[in-house]
């Protein structure tokens, strides 16, 4: 991170890595152990896709091109979709909240 | 990769990893050794950003959600921008061609 | 990739991205759809871990530090473990072969 | 992250993403703008390699296989090498400290 980086961007990078960590960690620990609807293909793929785009969204901000607006925009959408899917599965509220928070943060950076 | 995956997607994943490899390899070997305009901040950042989004574009196709259309769309734009920047710097024609080829491939997947 | 890069390294980078692609694609398409032993937690985590280390092993070679020997060494071990797990699950022979091939390639680079 | 995850691992994941962020952000903002010894090939490659292995070290802990011990071990070595290189270049103390802190944290997880 750099001195020139805005507080908003700094916070958004942290929110992205937090959401990446919660999605990847919840999917591979909690969801795989629970089985059933927790490993329903579309839900599980969405959790992995959310972890992936959050990581890249953070990296695009760190690399420092204007293109981060575009990746933050997609990241916000994927996080919203993942939050809805996690809500539907139930019992993974930490994931719902990390996704919602990251979506909000990314929407601000995308604007 | 999977049996159900279309030939177009299979090819696009390969094009993305090829472009990722050429951009990351050219930036860290050729560009750093040449110095001067090859390490001009905006150019160098664009090469790293292109490597990053190509990797993620491939991973989103591999994970298999419909969201790959969105990441392929951005990937095509970043590849075009990187191709123009590499053309302007000069002497890194392999990179120009990998970026143009990947952009074309990603545009088809994004449609 | 660069002119100075040896043919062995060039091939190893391709083997790593191939193995990464086959592991990530097979896990998220075939394994999630099949369910049962295909989503047994230890097996599924190993497939994701193998995809991750293969990607990084390739990236460390592309970045071009001597440290790639270390990441190639671990990558070979993870690929062998993943090949054994895939053999035990059965029906994902493409994955067994990609892992074995990548392990061999990485062992040569690690030496 | 998961309920079963130890506090030590949780902290190490955060240290890895912090070090990844500081290395990638400092390299692409500060170092590229400063030029000179800041973009000396071996130094710059080491910063990118450090960012890469820190990201993967965190991801291997999140995925939750025992293999994280091996990636944490390499990560600690790369972080130490990067800290020394940053100290030698000078003026990027935030990076020296993030690398040293992450190295210590990873050594504990590797044991």
Percent of chain D whose pLDDT exceeds 90? 95
Nearest CA-CA distance, residue B61 and chain A, Å: 9
Its sign, for the CA torsion C81, C91, C98, B50, is: negative
A81 in C contact zone (CB under 8 Å): no
Q: Does position B10 have pLDDT exceeding 90, yes or no?
A: yes
Q: Does position A1 have pLDDT exceeding 60, yes or no?
A: no
Q: Does position B3 have pLDDT exceeding 90, yes or no?
A: no
Choose, out of C24, C56, C72, the residue to mutate when testing the contact with D (most D CBs < 10 Å): C56
Q: What is the 3-state secondary structure (H, E, C) of chain B?
A: CCCCCCHHHHHHHHHHHHHHHHHHHHHHHHHHHHCHHHHCHHHHHHHHHHHHHHHHHHHHHHHCCCCHHHHHHHHHHHHHHHHHHHHHHCCCHHHHHHHHHHHHHHHHHHC
- Predicted confidence at residue D2, as pLDDT, reads 52
C59 in B contact zone (CB under 8 Å): yes
Q: Does position A39 have pLDDT exceeding 70, yes or no?
A: yes
Nearest CA-CA distance, residue D24 and chain B, Å: 10
Nearest CA-CA distance, residue C65 and chain B, Å: 10
Choose the closest CB to B17 out of C2, C17, C22: C17
D77 in C contact zone (CB under 8 Å): yes
Which residues from B are below 8 Å from A65, CB to CB? 42, 45-46, 49
Angstrom distance (rounded) from CA A74 to CA A47: 15
B39 in D contact zone (CB under 8 Å): yes
On whether the CB atoms of residues C71 and C98 are closer than 8 A, the answer is no
pLDDT single digits (tens) C7-55: 999 999 999 999 999 999 999 999 999 999 999 999 999 999 999 999 9
Q: Do D25 and A62 touch (CB under 8 A)?
A: yes
Q: Do C44 and A32 touch (CB under 8 A)?
A: yes
Its sign, for the CA torsion A31, A34, A37, A40, is: positive
Q: Do D74 and C67 touch (CB under 8 A)?
A: yes
Q: What is the mean pLDDT of residues B53-68?
A: 97
- Predicted confidence at residue B64, as pLDDT, reads 95
Burial C75-104 (b: 16+ CB within 10 A, else e): bbbbbbbbbebbeebeebebbbebbbbbbe
Q: Does position B42 have pLDDT exceeding 70, yes or no?
A: yes
Choose the closest CB to D28 out of B28, B32, B48: B48
Alpha helix ranges (H) inside chain A: 7-26, 32-34, 41-63, 68-89, 93-110
Percent of chain D whose pLDDT exceeds 70? 96
Which residues from B are below 8 Å from D39, CB to CB? 32, 35, 39
Two tokens at B31?
């560009």
Its sign, for the CA torsion B106, B16, C51, A22, is: negative
- Predicted confidence at residue A2, as pLDDT, reads 52
In terms of C-beta density within 10 A (0-12 exposed, 13-18 middle, 19 or more buried), how is residue A23 classed? Answer: buried
- Predicted confidence at residue D111, as pLDDT, reads 87
pLDDT single digits (tens) D46-96: 999 999 999 999 999 999 999 999 999 999 999 999 999 999 999 999 999
B41 in D contact zone (CB under 8 Å): yes
pLDDT single digits (tens) D7-58: 999 999 999 999 999 999 999 999 999 999 999 999 999 999 999 999 999 9
- Predicted confidence at residue D5, as pLDDT, reads 86
Q: What is the ipTM of this complex?
A: 0.95
- pLDDT class for B55, splitting at 50, 70, 90? very high
Q: Do D21 and A25 touch (CB under 8 A)?
A: no
- pLDDT class for C2, splitting at 50, 70, 90? low
Total residues found in chain C within this entry:
111
Q: What is the mean pLDDT of residues B72-93?
A: 98
- Predicted confidence at residue B36, as pLDDT, reads 96
Nearest CA-CA distance, residue A105 and chain D, Å: 17
- Predicted confidence at residue B103, as pLDDT, reads 98
A50 in C contact zone (CB under 8 Å): no
Choose the closest CB to A45 out of B65, B71, B78: B65
Which residues from A are below 8 Å from B56, CB to CB? 52-53, 55-56
Mean pLDDT of chain D: 96
Task: Count residue pairs from A and D with Cβ separation < 8 A.
Answer: 52
pLDDT single digits (tens) A53-78: 999 999 999 999 999 999 999 999 99
């Amino acid at each position: 991170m750099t001195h020139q980086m805005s507080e908003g961007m700094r916070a958004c990078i942290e929110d992205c890595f937090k959401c990446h960590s919660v999605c990847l960690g919840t999917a591979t620990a909690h969801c795989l152990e629970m089985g059933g609807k927790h490993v329903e293909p579309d839900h599980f793929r969405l959790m992995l896709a959310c972890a992936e785009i959050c990581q890249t969204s953070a990296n695009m901000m760190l690399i420092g091109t204007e293109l981060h607006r575009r990746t933050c925009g997609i990241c916000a959408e994927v996080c919203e979709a993942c939050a809805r899917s996690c809500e539907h599965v139930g019992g993974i509220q930490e994931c719902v909240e990390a996704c919602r928070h990251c979506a909000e943060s990314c929407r601000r950076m995308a604007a």
